[in-house]
Amino acid sequence: MTYAMIGTWRMAFEGIQKAMADLKNGGQSTDAIETAIKKVEDYPFFKSVSYGGLPNAQGLVEMDAAFMDGNTFAIGAVAGISDVKNPISVARQLSDDHFNSFLVGAGASQYAMFNGFESRNMLTERAHKIWMQRIKEINEKNLSPYDGHDTVGMVSLDQAAGMAAGTSTSGLFMKKPGRTGDSALSGSGFYVDSEIGGATATGLGEDLMKGCLSYEIVRLMGTGLSPQAACDQAVYPFVEKLKKRYGKAGEFSLVALNNQGEWGVATNVEFTFAAGNQDAAPQIFMANPGPSQTTVIEPISAEWLEAYAKRIKAPVE
């Protein structure tokens, strides 16, 4: 039977590897999402998700996460949560409730503490140093404080044809306290319907929510389009529309998986992702916008991976 996973950015890879081993053994897509995203959340060298994520402008690591079950449409989400080790697990537990399943701010953090989720100071020494350095650079070089916003988003398919989706992020770099993006927002940051497929987004949340692109990609797959055609047809015309109507478009990238284990990607910027299915072990790819509203996808090079590994662990002054 078919099983598959896709996730945004190179950082998704190890989590997907681990979760796909479970899917191969008959594991459920809902468990796979939590397993894979927790692995990303826990890794201290990813500076845009959970532990090790950069703090907001006031120095607090505020996180957003969401979980959706494609069988039932049940959604759980948190925005602006702090001091909790695994926001994705909080979001998943919230998806069991019919009421009060999306919590924000202090209420979200209180819920996590009260329900026994592991508490943790999410600000690493390294993230603190990067934050200090950024503030210095912003002041000295007049850089945009908001350059960087990499969400991990994943979609999974299990052998019982169940699908799920999840997201987790510490949000826009140097964001204002309380800022949230698309990651916790159904239809914008994620959407999944087990009878069709799922999609998830990363990029400038403020622009992603203008287009409800995750929902739109799933809808297009539901009309019979392949995940790649659905991504291309949803994303590139919207980028043009946004430039025309809003005057500009932030960077964003979307990935999709259908209920046959086929996947697709569209992006207006260089973008890495990880994907695999029953026929192909998970691997890392590089996507770029191609000609005529298409996407160019290549396997990642060993050089790129090596440079990445060096970069994320490079000493910070």
User: What is the set of active-site residues?
Assistant: 151
Binding status of residue 73 toward a copy of itself by CB under 8 A: yes
Token couple for 256: 């999709």
**Which residue's entry shows tokens 């909080």?**
90
- Taking the complex as a whole, the smallest distance from the CB of residue 107 to a copy of itself amounts, in Å, to 2
Binding status of residue 59 toward a copy of itself by CB under 8 A? no
Crossing angle between the packed helical segments 13-24 and 29-42, to the nearest 10 degrees: 150
**Which residues are within 8 A (CB) of 234 and not within 5 positions of it... i.e. 6 or more apart?**
211, 213, 216, 217, 220, 254, 266
Please measure the distance between the N-terminal and C-terminal CA atoms of the chain and give it in whole angstroms: 50
Region from 42-50, 108-116, 263-271, 297-305 binding a copy of itself, contact rule CB under 8 A: 108-116
Instruction: Report the residue from 1, 21, 106, 113 that binds a copy of itself according to the rule CB under 8 A.
Output: 106
Rounded CA separation 87/78 (Å): 7
Compute the distance between CA of residue 152 and CA of residue 276 in angstroms, rounded to an integer.
16
Cβ distance to a copy of itself smaller for residue 177 or 299: 177
Out of 24, 136, 176, 243, point to the residue binding a copy of itself (CB under 8 A).
Answer: 176
Reduced to 3 states (helix: H, G, I; strand: E, B; else coil), residue 262 is coil
What is the SS3 assignment for 283?
strand
| 284 vs 201: CA distance, rounded Å | 17
Interface with a copy of itself (CB under 8 A), residue from 32, 54, 108, 196: 108
Residue 142 interacting with a copy of itself (CB under 8 A): no
Selected binder of a copy of itself within 124, 167, 188, 295 (CB under 8 A): 188
Binding mask 201-240 for a copy of itself (x = CB under 8 A): ---xxxx-xxxx--xx--x---------------------
Residues 6+ apart with CB under 8 A from 131: 54, 55, 59
* Residue 162: count of CB within 10 angstroms of its CB: 20
The answer to the question of residue 172 lying near a copy of itself (CB under 8 A) is: yes
Q: What is the CA radius of gyration of the chain?
A: 18
Which of 164, 242 has the CB closer to a copy of itself? 242
Minimum CB distance to a copy of itself, residue 174 (Å): 9
The residue type found at 107 is G
Candidates 141, 245, 310, 311: give the one binding a copy of itself (CB under 8 A): 245
* Contact pick of 4, 75, 284, 297 for a copy of itself (by CB under 8 A): 75
Q: Which of 101, 260, 283, 294 binds a copy of itself (CB under 8 A)?
A: 101
Instruction: By CB under 8 A, name the one of 242, 256, 265, 266 that touches a copy of itself.
Output: 242
Q: Classify residue 190 by its DSSP letter.
A: E
From the list 22-30, 38-46, 176-184, 292-300, the region that binds a copy of itself by CB under 8 A is 176-184
Q: Is 203 helix (H, G, I), strand (E, B) or coil?
A: strand
C-beta closer to a copy of itself: residue 10 or 175: 175
**Nearest of 214, 240, 238 to residue 227 by alpha carbon:** 214
Q: Which residues bind a copy of itself (CB under 8 A)?
A: 62, 71-75, 79-80, 97-108, 110-111, 146, 172, 175-181, 185-188, 191, 204-207, 209-212, 215-216, 219, 242, 245-248, 250
